[in-house]
Copies of this chain bind each other. A is one copy, B any other.
Amino acid sequence: MQKPSLPKGTRDFGPIQMARRNFILDTIKDTFQLFGYQQIETPAMENLSTLTGKYGDEGDQLLFKILNSGDFLKDVTFADLEKGSGGVLTKVAEKGLRYDLTVPFARYVVMNRNELVFPFKRYQIQPVWRADRPQKGRYREFYQCDADVVGTDSLVCEAEIVLMIRRVFVRLGLADYGIKINNRKILTGIAEAIGEAGKEGPLCVAIDKLDKIGWEKVQEELIQRGFGLQSIQKLSPLVSLESDLKGKVEFLKTFLKDSPTGLKGVEELEEVFGILEKMGENLDHVDFDIMLARGLSYYTGAIFEVKVYGVSIGSVSGGGRYDNLTGVFGLPGVSGVGFSFGVDRLYDVLEELQLFPSDSLNGTRLLLAYFDSKGFEYALSILNHFRKAGIKVEIYPDQAKIKKQFEFATKKEIPFVGICGDDEIATGTISIKNLITGIQENLSLEAAVSKLS
């Protein structure tokens, strides 16, 4: 007899976890829909030709590949075998599991470009798979939760991303957080302004580590990457700049005065703030972070990252604008902007802050309990009375001691037990016991329905 187990880095979600995950996902979905985003789903399996080369060499290694069906070795030659796994791979696996939702979305847009209505706003909530080494908070299967709009470069989209994030956070009960925002063009401009034009790539990679390793180590890395000491010195006032949003904007207008690209970035950011103002919105939680770069190199405009303060893993959302999402599939010039919520991280944050509603299980509200077969039949006869009113109700299916039935209700977190004893049968009533307060009252069926509705 085998003892079953789960593959490394994967998880089951039981009823309580599912109810809590659904609380998060429903909040996000509801918000996406309010802003006109429409849901799509793509298959778990994609052709490896779609996935490979999109996530860098490391990403290619982390793709889960699906073994071809049937005689998978049939096309493998001795020459392939001599090259080892790398030589054999393309002969034995044509498909892989999706690694994120962005590449499948790009493929979807390209394949459906003649039917889609642009600007196309889509959201997508599905699991992705990565053969990462599992560790705390990092899984091999996890959900992503993306919203993107493609086919427009309007900065209204950026402003609405801020609004969506704030709406989700209000509803989740999260108050202490910052929506960090920056613009890739500003980083490009900074590279120009410090005399390292065209090197915003390595600049971004190094700056991205500022939070983790500090300015000193970032300088060392910049030197290693060939930045001159003078350039780094020029960068320094930016790193240490402490100012409010308007102060930062003013500082950059001077700092970037010789970089048209940089100034364009500042202008775009100002326009986003201006749109929010025209919408009658304030800038609460919005934090212009000049050094925010994020790892992803395909951003070309706005860059977002949301951090919850006072918790162990605070980065729960991020995104940005990209100008060429679909170019790799033969459809150039499609500008888009998108962002993503990390559901697992939001889950951990809400748990750490004890913000899940106590009734988030949202399960059965009433258990009908009984002493004998007469009570059982009475319980059967009134079940539908409650269900018709939309009340989630169960009957304990086996004849058992009343104590066991109460234990069942307690363990399943059912808040009310409806007792069907001889008195209740005689009077056509039901005694409802609140398992939290311990209060029990005898009610007509109608009164019981209103009480529980």
Q: Using a CB–CB distance below 8 Å, which chain A residues touch chain B?
A: 1-7, 10-15, 18-19, 22, 33-36, 38-47, 49-50, 61-62, 64-67, 69-74, 81, 84-85, 88-89, 92-95, 97, 107-108, 110-112, 115, 117, 119, 121-122, 127, 129, 131, 140-141, 149, 152-154, 156-157, 163, 275, 278-281, 328-330, 362-364, 377, 380-381, 383-384, 387, 390, 392-395, 397-398, 408, 411-412
Identical copies in the complex: 2
A54 to B: closest C-beta gap in Å: 11
Assuming the contacts A381-B279, A383-B279, asked whether A110 and B4 have C-beta atoms less than 8 A apart, the reply is yes
B387 adjacent to A34 (CB under 8 Å): yes
Chain B residues contacting A408 (CB-CB under 8 Å) are 117
A384 adjacent to B39 (CB under 8 Å): no
Chain B residues contacting A66 (CB-CB under 8 Å) are 64-67, 97
The A interface is mostly helix, strand or loop, or mixed, namely: mixed
Chain B residues contacting A84 (CB-CB under 8 Å) are 71, 73
Assuming the contacts A36-B392, A69-B64, asked whether A111 and B4 have C-beta atoms less than 8 A apart, the reply is yes
Assuming the contacts A3-B330, A412-B117, asked whether A278 and B40 have C-beta atoms less than 8 A apart, the reply is no
Beta-carbon nearest neighbor of A112 in chain B: B14
**How far is it, in angstroms, between the C-alpha of A45 and the C-alpha of B377 when the chains are bound?**
44
Q: Could you write out 29 A-B pairs with CB less than 8 Å apart?
A: A1-B328, A2-B49, A2-B50, A4-B47, A4-B107, A6-B43, A7-B43, A7-B45, A10-B45, A12-B43, A14-B112, A15-B39, A18-B39, A22-B39, A34-B390, A34-B392, A34-B393, A35-B387, A35-B394, A36-B393, A45-B64, A66-B67, A70-B85, A81-B81, A154-B397, A275-B380, A278-B380, A278-B381, A280-B381
Chain B residues contacting A112 (CB-CB under 8 Å) are 12, 14
A46 adjacent to B7 (CB under 8 Å): yes
